Chain A
């Protein structure tokens, strides 16, 4: 029963909350969508922390995601031992780099008085969750060798069963506690997403690649549709004008 709560109910609750709360926050408090960068207050450690952390975690997450989205192709990729070795070693190295970056970022927040000022409780919660998660991931990769392979036959079918709304926990209940914790904490971080600065994840400014350099906004044109709408409504019998 508790397994169902942990491996079915909790992931669903986390994902639904992340989406709903994320949308609510975007609509109600768009101002709060920010990466809250503190590079302005401290520059040097930020470089040594933020760069390895971000690139490391992005690559690792991409690997997790690729295996989930294209299990067949992934299975083919790790089919030859040499490719599996390379992948595992790369993964371990990336995990170490990511962990080191995160450690520097945490150290920076503790030791720099200025950065401490702009750190909230939720920032600490998020940092702790991320640190534990990456450490667990490294632990799993190191002590439960060939994760690139068994991930395909345990976590991936479990996740697919969740997404296809036919949840099957038999893929994961037998796994070691460390692995299970890593999986659940993953959903824990998804749950944290709308309540922390993690929202900057969905703010990746990809449109910069093609937008024109100059952005011009005509106030009058921007309001034109609203104005037309309102004047139409004002013409309707019994209507009274109200503010937005």
Chain B
């Protein structure tokens, strides 16, 4: 047993309003430099949709994540020898055009243009070449289903949906979609770390944050392909890969990451998980439909004294173990089993979990009335009908959040619905006690649990959402570095301009 601590995350998708505040908060702090213009360490996608970079989920194309081959777990991208053979040309590398060519506008033209009959215009110019460009893609090109028949129709998660289900998704004026905010998953079995030939991508032992050493990176760019979520980006100017750093300089001073802090819908939770690092390979090698459960298995109970002792033994600080006991992520993922990893089939054991959205519940309406197929549930009103008729097909959600295993997603929804029914019973009182009890029973839940889920979902305080102790690196470095010198440089350990000089 080798217990490690992981700063982990939960995004509650029912609360995401798709405002992109998280993306902007991140952009303004980290990626407004030359070479990073096209990077969005945090981005928000509309689903169904092909995302950013286009079709990132298609691992036939990008070969990210891990695969089981001859009973062994290995990166899908390459064998060890293959990595060296492909140094000169990475066959699975997304290029700039798979993201988009970053642009600005020639605003000076508005002032400098000679007087004439026509209004001057500010043409879009490339932020790479400085030359005029035709804008053909952007970081969020199919936002709110813009151009759906062209873009969203290619979404790999639509596989397995019937034609009727697909038709209903696109029913005019009743289109259905939800938002998927994405940052680096800081995986327990990171693909980017596994494929880096130089060994420059690493996981921090103390908190599990995955980072790229800018001094060790030699631009072999395998990490870009190896991450199945496409959350490692190549800086075309410095010749180094960069990625989400979970705002570790903020975490070190006790603040949540900027995207978490700024989230308008308060959908984001941050907490510590304890997991058994000796069982990473075993969990990541599980059969596809058991991957979600296998990952839950290696997440350990922080209240168990034996686990806490083992964690302390392997160097986890006492305040991290204490935080693990109050972790909202532990509740959502392990106790309530409501939050699921995105694309578990990539076998990276992500540390970012999503509570799937309920969305509009009804799939089809006849005329003005919401006619339910299931008569028994009709009495629950139009808000809550049968899951089988869900507007967003369960199969689609299972493709996203459960490696195709619909049972796992159904269990989550049954619980989410039970919480709603139970709260409607206690607050609005238009649902009979028996109905609420039956729903809870069906969801294998209790009134106490439903109340706790409601509290942490609807009215959590700042301190309940973000439960990570200050990583207190300043205390740790005190004997070596002057904390007052170190603090403004907030933990970079790398204090030169990221520019090419030679």
Contacts and interface: CB of A to CB of B under 8 A. Distances in A.
Contacts of B482: 241, 243
B432 interface: no
A158 B190 CA distance: 51
Given A42-B95, A205-B198, A117 B239 contact: no
Interface stretch (A4-12, A71-79, A213-221): A213-221
Nearest to A206: B84
Contact of A244 (B87, B93, B476, B481): B481
B204 A43 contact: no
Interface of B is mostly: loop
Contact of A243 (B204, B218, B485): B485
B201 interface: yes
Given A113-B131, A217-B204, A208 B95 contact: no
A31 B241 CA distance: 12
Interface string B188-203: 0110011011110111
Nearest to B471: A219
Contacts of A218: 204-206, 315
Given A209-B80, A216-B205, A243-B485, A114 B476 contact: no
A120 B239 contact: no
Given A215-B203, A220-B315, 6 more contacts: A114-B236, A211-B199, A215-B193, A216-B203, A243-B481, A243-B485
A41 B202 CA distance: 26
Interface in A200-244: 200, 203-211, 213-221, 223, 226-227, 230-231, 234, 241, 243-244
Interface in A31-53: 31-43, 46-47, 50-51, 53
A208 B199 contact: yes
Interface string A176-202: 000000000000000000011101100
B496 to A, nearest CB: 6
A117 B494 CA distance: 26
Interface of A is mostly: helix
Contacts of A120: 500, 502
Contacts of B89: 39, 46-47, 50-51
Given A209-B80, A216-B203, A54 B88 contact: yes
Interface in A16-75: 25, 29-43, 46-47, 50-51, 53-55
17 contacts: A31-B498, A34-B218, A39-B90, A40-B93, A40-B221, A40-B224, A51-B89, A55-B88, A114-B96, A117-B128, A205-B84, A205-B220, A208-B196, A213-B193, A214-B280, A219-B476, A220-B315
B238 interface: yes
- Chain A's interface size range is 35 or more
A220 B502 CA distance: 33
A188 to B, nearest CB: 18
Contacts of B240: 31, 34
A37 B315 contact: no
Contacts of B315: 218, 220-221
Interface of A: 25, 29-43, 46-47, 50-51, 53-55, 113-114, 116-118, 120, 122, 195-197, 199-200, 203-211, 213-221, 223, 226-227, 230-231, 234, 241, 243-244
Given A40-B221, A230-B480, A214 B88 contact: no
Given A41-B95, A196-B502, A223-B480, A205 B218 contact: yes
Given A218-B205, A223-B476, A36 B84 contact: no
Nearest to A53: B88
B219 A219 contact: no
**The 9 residue pairs across chains A and B that have the minimum distance between CB atoms:** A218-B205, A205-B197, A34-B239, A36-B239, A213-B194, A215-B202, A208-B197, A30-B215, A54-B88
A34 B476 contact: no
Contacts of B199: 205, 207-208, 211, 215
Given A34-B239, A35-B239, A41 B128 contact: yes
Interface string B124-145: 0000110100000000000000
B214 A31 contact: yes
B278 to A, nearest CB: 12
Interface of B: 75, 80-81, 83-84, 87-90, 93, 95-96, 128-129, 131, 189-190, 193-194, 196-199, 201-206, 214-221, 224, 234, 236-240, 280, 315, 473, 476-477, 479-482, 485, 494, 496, 498, 500-502
A216 to B, nearest CB: 5
Nearest to B86: A51
Given A217-B205, A243-B481, A29 B501 contact: yes
Which of B190, B193, B220, B240 has the most chain A CB atoms inside 10 A of its CB?
B220
A219 B205 contact: yes
A117 B102 CA distance: 14
A231 B479 contact: yes
A234 B201 CA distance: 34
Contacts of A43: 93, 95
Contacts of A33: 215, 218
A220 B96 contact: no
A32 B237 CA distance: 12
Contacts of A243: 481-482, 485
B193 A214 contact: yes
Nearest to B198: A205
A50 B193 contact: no
A183 B90 CA distance: 33
Nearest to A242: B482
A114 B84 contact: no
A116 B90 CA distance: 21
Contacts of B84: 204-206, 208-209
A36 B500 contact: yes
B279 to A, nearest CB: 13
Nearest to A199: B502
Contact of B502 (A32, A39, A234): A32
A226 to B, nearest CB: 5
Contact of A217 (B203, B476, B481, B494): B203
